[in-house]
Amino acid sequence: MSKFQVYINSKHFGLLAGLVHQYDHERFVCLMGNVEKVGEFQAIVIKEMQVLDDDDYEGLYTALCRPKKSVIQQMLQRVEQKRYSVYIEYHTHPLDFPHFSETDKADEKGMWEYFHEIFPNKYYGNMVLDINGCGQAVIRDWHDGKLKKFDTIPY
């Protein structure tokens, strides 16, 4: 699998890393940005980040968080308004589990199918962090829906 590079400014990256240390429940964040040329390469540059508040969830548990559909819809409207080409959903695993669970995988695939229907030429991705740092990070290529890994790079 090819690797994308996702650039997140240091302030946002620090906030993402800090959320994983809230051990009482998972947290969910929406990242939005664009594919841009960085040097000789194309990379994803995150321009905006939305951290969900406690009242933005249908359910908020140690090993599960369910954002309200209306909140996700607002984020997708923001992607359209700002003409972003990338939308990445980030969530924490406050335990020592740096991989996507089967529930995560099913949710991610379902969301990508929905996202691809609305935005056929944009990227949708997912990232999970646990207490030991970066776990898995994947984005689905809008051309074929295949998973591609990505590295996050603070700048």
Report whether 67 contacts 52 (CB < 8 A).
Answer: yes
Confidence at residue 1, expressed as pLDDT on a 0 to 100 scale: 40
Mean pLDDT of all residues belonging to the chain: 80
Hey, is 151 helix, strand or coil? strand
86, 94, 93, 128: which is closest to 108 by C-alpha? 128
**In the predicted structure, residue 106 carries a pLDDT above the cut 80:** no
CATH of the domain at 133: 3.40.140.10
- Residue 80 bridge partners (DSSP): none
Q: Determine the Cα–Cα distance for residues 137 and 6; give it in Å rounded to an integer.
A: 10
Task: Name, in order, each residue with C-beta under 8 angstroms of 10's C-beta and a sequence gap of 6 or more.
Answer: 154, 155
- Residue 150 bridge partners (DSSP): 4
Question: How many C-beta atoms lie closer than 10 Å to residue 103's C-beta?
Answer: 10
Confidence (pTM): 0.81
Count of domains observed in the chain = 1
The residue-averaged pLDDT of 94-119 equals: 74
Range of the domain at 60: 3-154
- Alpha carbon of 152 to those of 9, 61, 94, 116, 143: distances in Å? 10, 26, 19, 23, 22
Q: Determine the Cα–Cα distance for residues 145 and 19; give it in Å rounded to an integer.
A: 29
**In the predicted structure, residue 78 carries a pLDDT above the cut 70:** yes
Q: pLDDT by residue (tens digit) across 30-72?
A: 999 999 988 887 889 999 999 999 899 887 766 677 899 999 9
Tokens 């933005």 sit on residue: 56
Tokens coding 66: 């369910």
